[in-house]
Amino acid sequence: MKKLIIITLIIITVILSACDEWLYLEPENGIIRERFWKSKEDAFSALMGCYAGMLGNNQGSGYSIPQLIFMWGEIRADMVMPFRVRSDFNYIYYGDILPDNGVTQWNQFYKVINYCNTFLEYAKIAQANDPSFKLDLLHQYEGEALAIRALMYYYLVRTFDEVPLILEPTISDDANFKPFKKTRTEILNQIKKDLITAEKYVPYVYRTIPETKSRFTKYAVNAIQADVYLWCDQYDSCIIACDKIINSGAYGLVPNDDYWFTKLYVLGNSSESIFELPFSKEILNPYYDLFKTSKYLMASPNAMEYFFPFDESVSADSTDIRGDGCSYNSKDFYTIWKYIAINKNTLRSSNESYAHFIVYRLAEIFLFKAEALLFKGRYEDALKYIELIRKRGRASNLTKIESNTTDLKTLTNYLLDERAREFAFEGKRWFDILRNAKRNKYARLDIFKDMVYRNSPAEKQQTIINKFQDTMYHYLPIYYKELESNENLKQNPFYSENK
C-alpha cells in the first residue's frame, strides 16, 4: 500500500492540481473527466491520493498536514516550548499570534478536501465506464473519502472555529472560488452526516493489518464520531460510538512490558492502533527535523515535572512508562522522543524517521468514554476506565486522587492530567484543554490559567491570561493571504485590525 501511495501521490498531484497555493482554486474545465476516470483502478488511485495528501509530501510551501496536526494540537498548550528560535513558534509561545504566522495556514487541508470532493464527484463516472467496478465497492470508496474529508474539517473547525465549508470539487467553471465561512454548527453537522454515511459503507477490516490501520474502517469512523460527539457534549452518542469499538474485540491495549514502546511507536500497526498515518522509508515523517536536527520544539521541563513527578518510593524501572525515555528525554535537553527513537536511550537516524503518527488508539476510546461518563454523573464508572489506563502506564501514586472523590472539577482535572500523560505530544493536548474549558458556557476558564502558569514565560503570563478571557482568542486567525485572495472571508474578530 505504501508503494501504491507513492505512485498515486505523483498521479494525484498532476491530475488534481486544480488549486493554487491558497484557497483560491482554479478550474481545469473538464480535464479530469476526459482523461482519467475510466476504471476502478483509476478510482482507487484517486482514493489513495486522498490518503497520500494527508502524509504531507505534496505540501508545496508552508507546513504539511502532519506538522500542523502536531502544532495545532500542542503548541498553544502547556507541554511544548521553543528550543531554537523560529518566529512562528516563538510568537505563539509568547501569546503574540498574528494573521501572518505560518502555523495559521490551512491550504493543505483544503487541498485534501478538494481531492475528496473530486473523488466523490467523478468516481461514479469510472463505475459507469467499468462493468467490473461494482456499486458496493464504489460506495466503500466513497465512504473512505467522506471519512477523510470529515477528519480534515474536524481539525479545521476546532482550530479556526468558522471556516469555509466546501463540498463540491473546484474543477468546474461553475465552482465558487470565494466561499463564505460557515458556522461551527453547520460544519459539525456536516461532519456528523458524512461520518454516518461513511460508517455505513466502509468495511470492518481490509486484507492486511497495515491497510486496516491506515485506511478508514468502521471502527476508525467510530473513533472520529466519539471525538466529535464529545466535542459537542453529546455524551450518550459518544458512549455508543466508544462501545462499538470496545465491544468489537478487535483491539487491545499493548501490555506494559519491555516491548511496549517498540510495539506501539516504533513498529506501528499495533493491536491498540485504530487509525495511523503510515510513514515509511519512502515517505519519511517530518518530526525528526522539528524535534532533533533543527530542534525548534522541546518538551516543557515544568510540565514534565508536573505530569511525571519524581517518586523516591519506586525504582527507576517502576516509574511511569510514558514519561522520561518515551514521551521525552531529559538527558537530551528534553527532546520530544516518541517519533525519533527506537527505545528509551537510542535515537533513530534521520533517514529512519518513519514512525507512524497515531491519530486514534484504544486508550483514547477508553478515556473518551470516561469523560462522557463523568459528565453524565457516572463517576465510579468513569474512574474504572481512567484507572485502567493508569495501571497500564504505571502512573505514579503521587498523581492519584482519592477513589471516593465526587467533585466534578477534581475529576475533570484528573482525567485531563491522565490524558496529558497518555497522549503526550500526540497532537491532543490543546484540543483536550479547549473542549473542557468551553463546556457549559466556559465554566472552566481556570483550565487556561493553569496551563499558562505551567508553561508560559513569567513576564507574559498575565497578558496571555487576559487574552484568554476573549473566547475568540481560543481559535487561530485566518492567514492574511487567504483574506487577500477572498474578500468574502472575514477575520476572526479577536485578530481584526478594526478591533
| Short-list 194, 254, 245, CA closest to 220 | 245
Please tell me whether residue 307 adopts helix, strand or coil conformation.
helix
Inter-residue contact 293 to 430 (CB < 8 Å) = no
**Cα separation of 487 and 168, whole Å?**
20
Q: Check: CB of residue 288 under 8 Å from CB of residue 306.
A: no
SS3 298: strand
CB 228 within 8 Å of CB 189 = no
CATH 1.25.40.390 residue ranges for the chain: 245-427
Identify the CATH number of the domain defined by range 245-427: 1.25.40.390
With residue 15 as reference, give the H or E element that holds it: helix 2-15
Determine contact, residues 225/245, Cβ cutoff 8 Å.
no
Handedness of CA 44, 46, 51, 57 (dihedral sign): positive
β-bridge mates for residue 360, sequence order? 275
How does 327-347 read in b/e, with b if 16+ C-beta sit within 10 Å? bbbbebebbbbbbbbbeeeeb
C-alpha cell at 155: 481539525
14 is written with which cell numbers? Answer: 498532476
Question: Rounded to an integer, what distance in angstroms lies between the CA atom of residue 368 and that of residue 307?
Answer: 19
Structure-block grid coordinates of residue 388? 485502567
Contact 200, 37 (CB under 8 A): no
Distance separating alpha carbons of residues 293 and 285, to the nearest angstrom: 13
DSSP states along 317-354: GGS-TTTBTTTEEGGGTSEE-TTTBSSSS-BPPGGG--
Q: Which three cell numbers stand for residue 64?
A: 504539511
How does pLDDT run along the chain (499 residues), one tens digit per residue?
A: 555 544 444 444 444 433 333 233 333 444 455 568 999 999 999 999 999 999 986 455 689 999 999 999 999 999 999 999 999 999 999 999 999 999 999 999 999 999 999 999 999 999 999 999 999 999 999 999 999 999 999 999 999 999 999 999 986 555 567 899 999 999 999 999 999 999 999 999 999 999 999 999 999 999 999 999 999 999 999 999 999 999 999 999 999 998 999 999 999 999 999 999 999 998 999 999 999 999 999 999 999 999 999 988 888 778 999 999 999 999 999 999 999 999 999 999 999 999 999 999 999 999 999 999 999 999 999 999 999 999 999 999 999 998 889 999 999 999 999 999 999 999 999 999 999 999 999 999 999 999 999 999 999 999 999 999 999 999 999 999 999 999 999 999 999 864 5
Q: Please tell me the pTM assigned to this model.
A: 0.93
Best CATH choice for the domain 2-62+106-202 from the list 3.40.50.2020, 2.60.120.10, 2.40.40.20, 1.25.40.890: 1.25.40.890
